């Protein structure tokens, strides 16, 4: 099975879906001729033409709004936000419109739009090229939100999103683009939206999270296993909304000790909801208070290297937190 980079998995998902269905197209700033500022849409305009890999003017609300209109007309648009930091002008379209179209028309109209946006830091992007704004959209009914951590999941989830009849926000991690590679089948497959995945089996503590920090958790888990005989159970949420309640509860109950990790700010983040679900359902399985390891409640990370490092999660921080919890 070929091993491909996370960014290539995303590109292939779009390419294959556009080959499969003429109604699928992508639009955004620089996605056409340039192939995207990261290269995510490279080759698409050459293969599918100017209209299906459409260079849009610099206007995020229009990019989202036009995509929403086209989706209502029966197309399957993929709107790219160049950085999630810049998607906020589109928030009105996403939350007031896309999320509510089916509900407000009593199922008469629907909006099968995909909005892709790169999240995450560790690339010396500073305050406005590194944010994780998942919590802004999280909790808006009518939206689906996914955030893959592996190349396999990136391809499968993007395909699922494109085929989904409801609006899906696809948060791809820019640090993962070229850092993460794994086995991706060549044949067509889909990762179902709303299903988490156990990345690693364990018995001493459970780590639940999404996107880049899970890779640190995996590295820390290896070291903890070798050095302390501690086996961590790691659950990749993959879909943030709707959360896989069953998967979360099963993983939490396995060890009774839960550490929730994400790169978005701690307060009001997805982790707060995951923790509360566990607290609501699993009181008598808990062997330790539920812990969260997230970014600090600071607007965003500085660009100076020590500042960025201090803000971000890394293997050492994960390892320390996991060890402490295992020993509790």
Return the number of the residue (135 or 173) whose C-beta is nearest another protein.
173
Size of interface with another protein, in residues (CB under 8 A): 91
Name the β-bridge partners of 235.
198, 208
Site track for another protein across 252-291, x = CB under 8 A = -xxxx------------------------xxxxxxxx---
CB of 183 to another protein, least distance (A): 19
Most distant CA pair in the chain: distance in Å?
59
3-state secondary structure of 317: helix
The set of residues, in sequence order, having a beta carbon less than 8 Å from that of 61 and lying 6+ positions away, is 89, 90, 92, 93
Among 3, 73, 187, 299, the residue binding another protein under the rule CB under 8 A is: 73
Return the number of the residue (168 or 185) whose C-beta is nearest another protein.
168
Dihedrals phi, psi of 136, to nearest 5 degrees: -65, -40
Find the DSSP H helices in 105-244: 134-137, 151-163, 176-179, 213-228
Q: Is 103 in the site for another protein (CB under 8 A)?
A: yes
Q: Which of residues 13-52 bind another protein (CB under 8 A)?
A: 25, 38-39, 51-52
Among 32, 142, 213, 275, the residue binding another protein under the rule CB under 8 A is: 142
Q: Provide the 10 A C-beta neighbour count for residue 311.
A: 17
CA 208 to chain CA mean position, Å: 14
Burial of 127 (0-12, 13-18, 19+ CB in 10 A): middle
Among 2, 139, 185, 242, the residue binding another protein under the rule CB under 8 A is: 242
Is the preceding peptide bond at 67 cis, omega within 30 degrees of 0?
A: no
The set of residues, in sequence order, having a beta carbon less than 8 Å from that of 92 and lying 6+ positions away, is 61
Piece of 67-75, 182-190, 210-218, 268-276 that binds another protein (CB under 8 A): 67-75
CA-nearest of 91, 324, 118 to 228 is 324
129, 215, 233, 262: which is the annotated catalytic residue? 129
Q: Is 84 in the site for another protein (CB under 8 A)?
A: no
Q: Is 62 in the site for another protein (CB under 8 A)?
A: yes
CB of 174 to another protein, least distance (A): 5
Return the number of the residue (130 or 135) whose C-beta is nearest another protein.
130
Contact criterion met (CB below 8 Å) for 273 and 267 = no
CB of 271 to another protein, least distance (A): 18
Piece of 9-17, 69-77, 147-155, 183-191 that binds another protein (CB under 8 A): 69-77
Structure tokens at 202: 């364990």
Return the number of the residue (185 or 310) whose C-beta is nearest another protein.
310
Piece of 10-18, 151-159, 171-179, 207-215 that binds another protein (CB under 8 A): 171-179
Among 228, 272, 302, 311, the residue binding another protein under the rule CB under 8 A is: 228
The H or E element that residue 265 is part of is strand 258-265
The set of residues, in sequence order, having a beta carbon less than 8 Å from that of 195 and lying 6+ positions away, is 238, 239, 244, 247
Dihedrals phi, psi of 283, to nearest 5 degrees: -50, -45
Site track for another protein across 183-222, x = CB under 8 A = -----------x---------x------------------
Catalytic status, residue 129:
yes
Q: Which of residues 112-141 bind another protein (CB under 8 A)?
A: 123-125, 129, 141
Active-site positions read 129
């Amino acid at each position: 099975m070929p091993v491909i980079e996370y960014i290539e998995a995303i590109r292939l998902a779009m390419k294959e879906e556009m080959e499969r269905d003429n109604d699928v197209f992508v639009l955004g700033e620089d996605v056409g001729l340039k192939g995207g500022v990261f290269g995510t849409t490279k080759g698409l305009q050459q293969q599918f033409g100017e209209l299906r890999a459409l260079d849009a003017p610099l206007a995020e609300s229009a990019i989202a709004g036009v995509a929403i209109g086209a989706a209502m007309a029966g197309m399957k648009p993929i709107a790219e936000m160049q950085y999630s930091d810049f998607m906020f002008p589109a928030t009105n379209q996403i939350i007031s419109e896309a999320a509510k179209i089916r509900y407000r028309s009593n199922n008469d109209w629907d909006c099968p739009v995909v909005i892709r946006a790169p999240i995450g830091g560790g690339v010396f992007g500073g305050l406005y090229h590194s944010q994780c704004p998942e919590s802004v959209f999280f909790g808006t009914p009518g939206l689906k939100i996914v955030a893959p951590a592996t190349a396999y999941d990136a391809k499968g989830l993007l395909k699922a999103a494109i085929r989904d009849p409801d609006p899906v926000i696809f948060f791809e991690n820019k640090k993962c683009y070229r850092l993460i590679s794994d086995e991706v089948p060549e044949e067509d497959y889909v990762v179902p939206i709303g299903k988490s995945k156990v990345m690693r089996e364990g018995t001493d503590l459970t780590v639940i999270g999404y996107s880049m920090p899970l890779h640190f958790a995996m590295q820390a888990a290896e070291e903890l296993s070798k050095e302390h005989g501690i086996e961590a159970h790691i659950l990749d949420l993959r879909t943030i909304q709707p959360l896989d309640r069953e998967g979360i509860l099963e993983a939490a109950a396995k060890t009774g000790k839960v550490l929730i990790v994400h790169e978005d700010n701690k307060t009001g983040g997805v982790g707060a909801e995951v923790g509360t679900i566990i607290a609501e359902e699993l009181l008598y399985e808990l062997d330790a208070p539920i812990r969260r390891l997230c970014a600090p409640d600071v607007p965003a990370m500085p660009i100076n290297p020590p500042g960025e490092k201090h803000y971000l999660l890394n293997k050492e921080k994960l390892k320390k937190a996991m060890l402490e919890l295992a020993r509790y």
